[in-house]
Chains A and B, each alone.
Chain A
Amino acid sequence: MAIDIYKINPEFRDIMPKEIIDLEENATWAQNQKKPRGIKEMPDTKEILEEHSLCAGCPEAAALRYVLAALPKPEETIIVNSTGCTSLMFPHIALHTVHSLFGNQNAVATGIKRVLDWRFPDIEKDVVVLAGDGATVDIGLDYTLQSFFRQENITTICFDNEVYANTGGQESGATPKGQVFKMAPTGKKFEKVKMWELATTAGCHYTMNMTASAPKAVAKAVREAILVAREIGPTFLNIYTPCILEIGLSANEGLGEMKDQDKDRFASYKFVSPEAEEFLKKCKAEGKL
């Protein structure tokens, strides 16, 4: 019944805000689409994210819009969040989302996914984790990796801005070596944690390291990762979404920074397990990609 929950009671239609009516009439719900959802519909359709409160030009905000536009079946998707800038946007997402604690996102997602599989054995419900690098690589590393070890059927997306941005610019495990941030006043002493490599080692079936410079590439990765997670096992996307504020860039410079990093720290890394590769071929043949 998930798609039906977006249908407005006719009695209340005249008092509904426009964005709610737009959601029903003009959002790209998978059930109403002939082809897989994607980036190209964004200008003409209602996005699942309503206005948000992040900084002007924030690449993370753009990346979240790409992620939401690419969900294979938003009406059956639950997104689990952690504390950080993204949690400022979560109240504006028209899906079931959870913010619980800082760092426990993969544990909460595990509980939700296990129970949804139990309660709805005939409905595919996707659980997607979306958290920053502090939540994923530092405070929540144990829970992230353990969910990979357990082969949970969830997709984990890390918006890696290489810094604790929301708390004011402190060094994180994902910060590059030598970078001066708060709590690393003489520069970071150790290398950036290569979370994508850890994810592959820990058992992810589809792992990518990329930037959010190319919307279509992000959308493709999100769609593939979620389909693989549904059928095969855990998947992980590490997406560079720089904090322009903390690295001293202007609102119009985020895209350039991501493009530069496409060739550097975020040079494309992709791992697809043989089972996942086989499955994705099948998806493509069936028109799911």
Chain B
Amino acid sequence: MASIKDMTDTHNWSGQKLVTADHMLFEAPREKHFMTGSEVLKEAVKRCTVDASVSYPITPQSEAAHLIGELWAEGYVGTYFRGENEFGVMSEVAGCAMAGARTITTTSGPGTLRAMENFPQWSGTRIPCQLILMARGINSPLTIQPDNLEVSFMLETGCMIWYAENVQELFDMSIAAFIVAEKPDVHVPIITVVDGFFVSHTRESVMLPADDIALLPYEPYKSPLPPIDSETPPGRFLRDPFVMKSNYISYATHASWQWEVRSAVERSRPYAKHFLKGLVHVTGTPDAEIAFVTCGTASHQAKEAERELMKHGIKTKVIKLRTIRPFPKEELLAELEGVKHIFVPEFNVVGWLEKEVKTALHNNHTAKVIGGPRVAGGMSLPAEAILKEVFEHINVEGK
């Protein structure tokens, strides 16, 4: 097991050389590997000087959680244990982060919903912990299959939400996520989402830096709220807003606190833009009049559809949103200039991303937004389905 006493100015407790996030993400030489999303998360956590992780089994995130446990056994992670259920786990994560730890956990679908009360508590407490959400369907009926309906429940928790498309993005995003979440002017939790199975269980080529380097440690004393460790004067207030009296000052305090949490999420934009190389990524024909707005693996499918449509002489482009909170409204509107038809392919029945896109476009853009195609409950989203949707809505001949 690791000891924090083995940390030096240049190396962390497991002997890895400490580097900046810029060095880790942009400068360090990389080598090609072949691994799943769960395996790549282990590689990311290994390079992040992580103090604490709490786990609980639920498909499809279990393997990722096991692998973080292995890192603890190997001396890379400070403390690790299995909690009693996701509500307990997310509360334990809160305790770890309040006490000044760089903390990560993972969950999926029903686990996310069981833990729900904790997420606004996390953001209200201004802890910069990271949740890796490997999205799966939620009950009932029972399903363990990929479906991202659960993300819609997370949208207004006050947490940042990033969405990775593939194994490579999961690696890079989960490292950048700690750094952005821990910025003193941000300092809110971050949820890094991938589609369960499609990313967690799919083996892909990834480029990874060597594992003898790791991020500089989290600095809890830069937190906007002091860590709960008896090392700073107590503020004589709770870690959540002091609404303990019923008067207008307490109401105003609660309201301004909630507003400040959302403002902190907005303040993450420049950092996210730097580390993610933009909040949206665009592929396809720049002046296309048809656009797909996507996140996660739907982006991959839309890109395939874009190539197929090109064979039919139909120019399209894919605007992949990399952050959902903050929502990249300006970036999206800029990329939609000249676009007349917008398709939002999604892995859920409700079309939460379509609603987000429509909200951003309201009074700002005249393009028609088509919320589809949508699949759910584990169905795949073949490019053919996207083509069919396009042909049905746009007056062109196709096969």
Contact at A94–B91, with CB atoms within 8 Å? Answer: no
Q: Give residues of chain A (102-131) contacting chain B, Cβ–Cβ below 8 Å.
A: 104, 107-121, 125
What CA separation (Å) do A222 and B50 show in the bound complex?
Answer: 34
B239 close to chain A: CB less than 8 A: yes
The 10 closest A-B pairs by CB, nearest first: A111-B95, A107-B91, A104-B91, A115-B99, A111-B96, A146-B84, A108-B95, A111-B92, A112-B95, A115-B101
User: Is there an interface contact between B239 and A120, defined as CB atoms closer than 8 Å?
Assistant: no
Shortest A110–chain B CB gap in Å is 5
- Give the contacting residue for A112; candidates B51, B99, B242, B244; CB below 8 A: B99
A94 to B235, CA, bound (A): 8
Residues of chain B at the chain A interface (Cβ within 8 Å): 3-5, 51-52, 54, 78-79, 81, 83-85, 87-89, 91-101, 103, 117-118, 121, 125, 228-234, 236-240, 242, 244-245
Point out the residue from B84, B93, B230, B244 that lies within 8 Å of A111, measured CB to CB: B93
CB of B237 within 8 A of CB of A91, answer yes
Interface stretch (choices A72-80, A207-215, A261-269): A72-80
Indicate if the CB atoms of B234 and A115 lie closer than 8 Å.
no
Set A5, A94, A96, A100: member contacting B125, Cβ < 8 A: A100
How close is A160's CB to chain B, nearest CB, in angstroms?
22
| A194 adjacent to chain B (CB < 8 Å) | no
A109 to B92, CA, bound (A): 7
* Contact residue among A1, A75, A112 (Cβ-Cβ distance under 8 Å from B228): A112
Asked if residues A78 and B101 are in contact (CB atoms below 8 Å), the reply is no
The smallest beta-carbon distance between B216 and chain A, in angstroms, is 16
Q: Is A92 an interface residue (CB 8 A)?
A: yes
Beta-carbon contact of A78 and B228 below 8 Å? yes
- Minimum Cβ distance to chain A for residue B247 (Å): 12
**A176-193 toward B: CB 8 Å interface, digit per residue (1/0)?**
000000000000000000
Instruction: Tell me how far the C-beta of B77 lies from the nearest C-beta in chain A, rounded to whole angstroms.
Output: 10
Q: Are A78 and B4 in contact (CB under 8 A)?
A: no
Per the bound structure, the CA–CA distance linking A50 and B96 in Å amounts to: 28
Which of A5, A107, A121 is the most central at the interface, judged by chain B CB atoms within 10 Å of its CB?
Answer: A107
Task: Kindly state the separation between the CA atoms of A6 and B232 in the bound complex, as whole angstroms.
Answer: 9
- A107 in contact with B238 given A78-B228, A146-B88, A150-B81 (CB within 8 Å): no
Given contacts A115-B52, A115-B96, A142-B85, 11 further A-B contacts (CB under 8 A): A2-B231, A5-B234, A50-B236, A77-B230, A78-B99, A90-B238, A96-B234, A100-B239, A115-B79, A115-B99, A118-B51
Judge whether B230 and A78 touch: CB under 8 Å.
yes
